[in-house]
Structure 1
Amino acid sequence: MKITSNFDSGNINVISAEAPLDIQLEINRDNESEFFQWFHFRLESTPFVEHKLHINNLQNSAYPEGWDDYQAVASYDRQTWFRVPSSYQDGQLVIDFEPECHHTYFAYFAPYSYERHLDLVYWAQSHDACRVETLGETLDGRDISLLCVGEPGDEKKKIWITARQHPGETMAEWFVEGLLHKLLDDEDPHAAALLSKAVFYIVPNMNPDGSVRGHLRTNAKGVNLNREWQTPSLENSPEVYHVLNKMHETGLDLYLDIHGDEALPYNFVAGSEGIPSYDERLATLEAQFKQALLTITPEFQDEFGYPKDEPGQANLTVASCAVGEAFKALAYTIEMPFKDNANLPDPHYGWSDRRSYQFGQDTLAAIVNVVDNLR
């Protein structure tokens, strides 16, 4: 029996693996950080034998409540990821599984590899409407890639979308993949309507270093990028530094920052009602956008989410709040679950890469309903 995580986004520490029913594991912390929750590893063992994989010390993980009612995902071909029986008690997640093949991959959510990220960026570049711009480099020397979609024009709205500030939230890049496939479809009416009125600036992966390293929440230096937007620096957060500079260069009328939430089994949005410049105009735009999503897809809801900030009490280190305040623009954090959508449960796949992809396409359609009112 062999367990390894020596690959892109891999993360696990093997305590002991002497018998199939007594496999003891722990998750490694993000580099220079106390955050840990993301796991991704491969089990090589005997098929059709019951295995019990115990992931320990989870009471000290970043979001212990995220393990309640959580089911891990597994794959034989690294293409289709399905849920496997998992139970959580006293800081330990137990995955009870009888593999059908000699090799099985396990992960916290369907991974989105760095190679797939590169494939997405340069697939997009092959379309006439899209060009790729390298804004700078990460601390590990990877490109910070921006996709510019549409023909620039002073009269056009500037729509910005960023994803995977927190690298373990892989559903965010699946979301962007779906959105891009719709936006770059020459025969899609939503795309045509939007590109006649707007230019899109899309960062599919804000944190490629953390993604490759198998981090949950931080970059190579252990910095949480979504707390850097007030004073980003080249030393600690070049990813935010370069993106924010580009936003100021292009201007911005709408900002969506795409994330995943460990604990809440719903899709929801978090607005910027606590920023100093929040007014009736922004409140109306928020309501229009949410109503459009509610109409377009039953995957979205507006009952469960984060508590709203009191007026003037927004955390301006957070991307959606910082950008909303800086540009006086509609700015939302979009959250998807690691577990399942409790309103539309799927016992076999839970919330998944494919559903995230579709939610990205649905969100693009919702933008049509607000684009004329952005300024």
Structure 2
Amino acid sequence: MYITSAFDSGNIEVINAESSPIELAIRQDNNSDFYQWFHFRLEGEVGASYPLSIVNAGKSAYPEGWENYRVCASYDRQNWFRIGANYDGKTLDFTVTLDEPSIYLAYFAPYSWERHLDLLAWAQSNERVKIQTLGKTLDQRDMTMLTIGDAESAKHRVWMIARQHPGETMAEWFVEGFLEALLDDANPQAQKLLADTVFYVVPNMNPDGSVRGHLRTNAAGANLNREWLNPTMERSPEVFLVREKMLKLGGDIFLDIHGDEALPYNFVAACEGIPGYDERHAKLEETFKQAYEAISPDFQTEHGYELDKPGEANLTIGTAWAGHQFRTLALTLEMPFKDNDNLPDPVEGWSPARSQQLARDILFPIREVLETLK
């Protein structure tokens, strides 16, 4: 039996390979106490069963995320399925029975840096797309923004950023589906939107954390979604660079794509606690949510986060900062690590394909909101 995580986004430490179950631990994000993302390969005998135990699960960032959680697994790194697991409040235990000599196991289906580069290369081949490097991360990776549509003639500007928290890989799967829909010449929603709207898309806000196998932070240990009020090039260049571009270009809609460890639903969090929040904000949010719920059975409004009280929004969070700065619709979209309990999938749980479909459906609520701005 052999276990390794020496690859893009890999994260696991073998504590005791001789015990039964085999004892594993998730490595903390650099300069941080956060951890929950894992990604490793197990090699063994076909037909053999290997009991595994993540012994530090109970002290992870979101222990409730392990309740009713099922591990993501793949033999070919393309098709991911779920393996049942048991969480006792301290350890996450599951057993792998091999159908092939080796298997990949992860917190959610990974979205690799190589696939990220492939996505950018594919997108730039479309004449509607302009690719721009905004600057470098601390590990010297590119911070890349895509501009889709005619910025000079556009009446509206829509921002979409994803994966501020690198372990939330469903966010970049979402962006991939969104770009495929927006650049589909046969999609009437896309054609209608691009007639008068420009989209600014940052598919991966945290390249370093993604490759390092982090859950929530960048190379310096900064939680990027707590850096929006005063980012610096020394600690959070990713936010600094994107924020500067946003201040220069402005925006009518801001969408920040995330994943939630605990809640088994798709939902949005708004910016109701910002100073100056008014009926206009509330109306735009309600228009968006009603349209999304109408078009997508995977989206719902019953379950979500507790609302901020008036004036108590945390302006270091991207959505709150953007909603306050631009006085416009700003939403955080959350998808589950587990499954959508309203439409559960016993084989795959919440998956890359469903993330992509949810993204395709978001064109309609975006269009509905923009119609109210005309």
Q: Does TM, normalized by the shorter one, top 0.5?
A: yes
Alignment of 1:48 onto 2:69: no
Q: C-alpha distance in 1, partners of 2:330/2:94?
A: 39
Alignment partner, residue 261 of structure 2:
262
- Report the AA paired with residue 108 of structure 2: F
Alignment partner, residue 10 of structure 2:
10
Asked if structure 2 preserves the Cα contact closer than 8 Å seen for 1:83 and 1:348, the reply is yes
Alignment partner, residue 76 of structure 1:
75
- Report the AA paired with residue 294 of structure 1: E
Q: C-alpha distance in 1, partners of 2:226/2:371?
A: 31
Cα deviation for residue 90 of structure 1 reads: 3.2
Alignment partner, residue 305 of structure 2:
306
> How do 1:225-374 residues align onto structure 2 when only pairs under 5 Å count?
225-374=224-373
Cα deviation for residue 155 of structure 1 reads: 5.0
- Tell me the alpha carbon deviations over residues 228-265 of structure 1, each in whole angstroms, 9 at most, x when there is no partner: 00000001000000000000111111000000000000
Q: C-alpha distance in 2, partners of 1:333/1:155?
A: 24
- Report the AA paired with residue 5 of structure 2: S
1:346 aligned counterpart, secondary structure = coil
Asked if structure 1 preserves the Cα contact closer than 8 Å seen for 2:42 and 2:103, the reply is yes
Contiguous gaps of at least 5 residues in structure 2: none
Alignment partner, residue 217 of structure 2:
218
Q: C-alpha distance in 2, partners of 1:95/1:146?
A: 40
Q: Judge which range, 129-138 or 363-372, deviates more.
A: 363-372
Alignment partner, residue 123 of structure 2:
124
Structure-1-length-normalised TM-score: 0.98
Asked if structure 1 preserves the Cα contact closer than 8 Å seen for 2:139 and 2:219, the reply is yes
2:219 aligned counterpart, secondary structure = coil
- Tell me the alpha carbon deviations over residues 345-366 of structure 1, each in whole angstroms, 9 at most, x when there is no partner: 1111000111001111111222
Alignment partner, residue 85 of structure 2:
86
Q: C-alpha distance in 2, partners of 1:325/1:295?
A: 28
Asked if structure 2 preserves the Cα contact closer than 8 Å seen for 1:41 and 1:107, the reply is yes
Q: C-alpha distance in 2, partners of 1:77/1:155?
A: 43
Asked if structure 2 preserves the Cα contact closer than 8 Å seen for 1:265 and 1:342, the reply is yes
Cα deviation for residue 300 of structure 1 reads: 0.5
Cα deviation for residue 373 of structure 1 reads: 2.3
Alignment partner, residue 190 of structure 1:
189
Structure-2-length-normalised TM-score: 0.99
> How do 1:42-191 residues align onto structure 2 when only pairs under 5 Å count?
42-153=41-152, 155-191=154-190
- Tell me the alpha carbon deviations over residues 107-131 of structure 1, each in whole angstroms, 9 at most, x when there is no partner: 0000000000000011000000001
Q: C-alpha distance in 2, partners of 1:2/1:374?
A: 58
- Report the AA paired with residue 197 of structure 1: D
Q: Which structure 1 residue ranges, 4+ long, deviate > 6 Å from structure 2? A: none
Give the percent of matched residue pairs that are identical in Structure 1 and Structure 2: 58
Asked if structure 1 preserves the Cα contact closer than 8 Å seen for 2:153 and 2:196, the reply is no
Cα deviation for residue 280 of structure 1 reads: 0.6
- Alignment root-mean-square deviation, CA: 0.9
Asked if structure 1 preserves the Cα contact closer than 8 Å seen for 2:170 and 2:335, the reply is yes
- Report the AA paired with residue 78 of structure 1: R
